[in-house]
Amino acid sequence: MSIGAPEYAHDVLLLLGNRKLCRHIVASSPVTAIVLMDEAARQQKFHVPLGGFAKNITTEAIINRDSILYHEDTYGSDILGWVQPFSNAMYGNYRLVEGLSVGMDSPLDLPWRVSWDMDGDQFEAYCRITLITFKNYIESGLYGGHSYALNRAFDVIKNAGRELYKINGQPMDATDRDPAKRLSAAAHFVRDVINFLGEKKELKFGKLRIPPKGSAGYHANIFDHIADMMYDLLLAASSVRSSPDNAWSIHYGTVWTNFFGFREKSEAWNAIRFKFSRLVFDEIKKLEKFPNYEGSRILGICLNIFGTEIRDKTSYDRGEYRLIKAVLEWTRKNYLWLSEAHPPVAKNCLMGSITFDPKHRRLVKTYAQGLNLTPSQTFLELEMPKPEMLKRQID
């Protein structure tokens, strides 16, 4: 049986995915990739076998620091920065990106080794192209459905902080190292996503409070995935425990200011903030029934960020104030019990500049000394465990 033209065309498109060929296209002829992707989008051929080609073009564009991908990241300083022909062709049509993702190969999919080895600048470039696809996903009105391509891209970004533990014990201001740069790029991605959503009117956010994962009725939408990403990045940041200066720089300067530093409080931010705050506080409350190290890390980073006392209410975003108040109140009532029930988990809650003073039954936040003769401190006075709590410990 002879092979017809359609079969040849199919095979040719598969041949275009050759890694070496894609390397040369990126280096010498990126317009080839632009034309192919633009034509697929124009003809609405969203399931043609271009997935391997698109995946390897992105891979080589990220690896090659002189590729057009980096030249377009100039924020309007030249024509490439304004038009961004390569980025828009490769990542600007969500339906094409999603259609190609069916075979696990899309413009946002990378080989796992490349994904794992990206440095700070490469990770920032990956976040930028994911944001382009995300924006078209929202603008197309398709955000109510599940997105395989974006979910996998979000998983890559969630893992930005996997090597942050290497900062522990490093000299002051280790934020110029790749682990910190990857986290910073991911936190800025979250900020850019929320700022973009804030510009969109009449978005449908679904239920603000959904059942826990794995339970009946659980159905997460894209806004839940954004809140999950924020939680995962916060948890990753908690692996930086020392020095106090590095911990504060990562915990507050890199993560929290990007999460809660919005001047305009949009409906999108209110919805995502609510989901994120519930994830944080629900994890802390689990410590009451099951002392564990994930919950202690979340509590620890919150205490280092929040401190041990609440300033004037007007100093906070309303949602931030509620979360801080809830976390500090829970800690005041439960920390002494936790230190009796499971001392290692209680100790794991202490990071950055937070310490425990068992003699006076209080947590202490110590601030930078600066020019003062002694550093200033604030305190959180802790409640003695109630009898029923002690009984629960014995059980």
204-244 pLDDT tens trace: 888 888 777 766 667 788 899 999 999 999 999 999 998 89
Is the model's pLDDT at 75 over the cut of 60? no
Residue 10 or 377, more confident: 377
Retrieve residue 134's tokens. 């995300």
Are residues 221 and 103 both part of a single domain?
A: no
pLDDT of residue 201: 84
pLDDT of residue 318: 72
d(CA 33, CA 67): 13
Query: How many structural domains does the chain have?
Result: 2
Are residues 206 and 333 both part of a single domain?
A: yes
pLDDT of residue 291: 94
d(CA 318, CA 232): 23
Give me the domain span that covers residue 99. Answer: 1-149
End-to-end Cα separation, the chain, in angstroms: 75
Are residues 204 and 319 both part of a single domain?
A: yes
Are residues 144 and 183 both part of a single domain?
A: no
Q: What is the mean pLDDT of residues 81-90?
A: 90
Residue 156 lies in a domain: no
Are residues 186 and 94 both part of a single domain?
A: no
Is the model's pLDDT at 1 over the cut of 50? no
Are residues 343 and 234 both part of a single domain?
A: yes
pLDDT of residue 351: 95
187 — pLDDT class (breaks 50, 70, 90): very high
SS3 content of the chain, % helix, strand, coil (to 5): 65, 5, 35
In the chain, % of residues over pLDDT 70: 91
d(CA 58, CA 114): 11
Q: What is the mean pLDDT of residues 274-294?
A: 95
Is the model's pLDDT at 7 over the cut of 90? no
In this prediction the pTM is 0.92
Helix or strand (DSSP H, E) at 274: helix 267-285
Are residues 142 and 167 both part of a single domain?
A: no
pLDDT of residue 112: 92
Is the model's pLDDT at 48 over the cut of 60? yes
Which range, of 91-105, 185-199, 321-335, 369-383, averages the lowest pLDDT? 369-383
Retrieve residue 358's tokens. 């068992």
Q: What is the mean pLDDT of residues 38-56?
A: 94
d(CA 91, CA 96): 8
Are residues 173 and 35 both part of a single domain?
A: no
Retrieve residue 121's tokens. 């600048």
Are residues 139 and 249 both part of a single domain?
A: no
Q: Residue 217 — left, alpha, or beta (φ > 0 → left; ψ -120 to 50 → alpha)?
A: left
Is the model's pLDDT at 16 over the cut of 70? yes
Q: Are 341 and 291 in contact (CB under 8 A)?
A: yes
Q: Are 287 and 334 in contact (CB under 8 A)?
A: yes
d(CA 204, CA 223): 10
Are residues 107 and 135 both part of a single domain?
A: yes
Backbone angles phi, psi at 102, to 5 degrees: -55, -40
Residue 154 lies in a domain: no
Residue 243 lies in a domain: yes
pLDDT of residue 169: 79
Are residues 101 and 70 both part of a single domain?
A: yes
Is the model's pLDDT at 296 over the cut of 80? yes
Q: What is the mean pLDDT of the chain?
A: 89
d(CA 389, CA 324): 23
d(CA 282, CA 267): 23
pLDDT of residue 62: 97
Residue 79 or 200, more confident: 200
Give the number of other CB atoms < 10 A from CB of residue 128: 20
Residue 279 lies in a domain: yes
273 — pLDDT class (breaks 50, 70, 90): very high
Is the model's pLDDT at 394 over the cut of 80? no
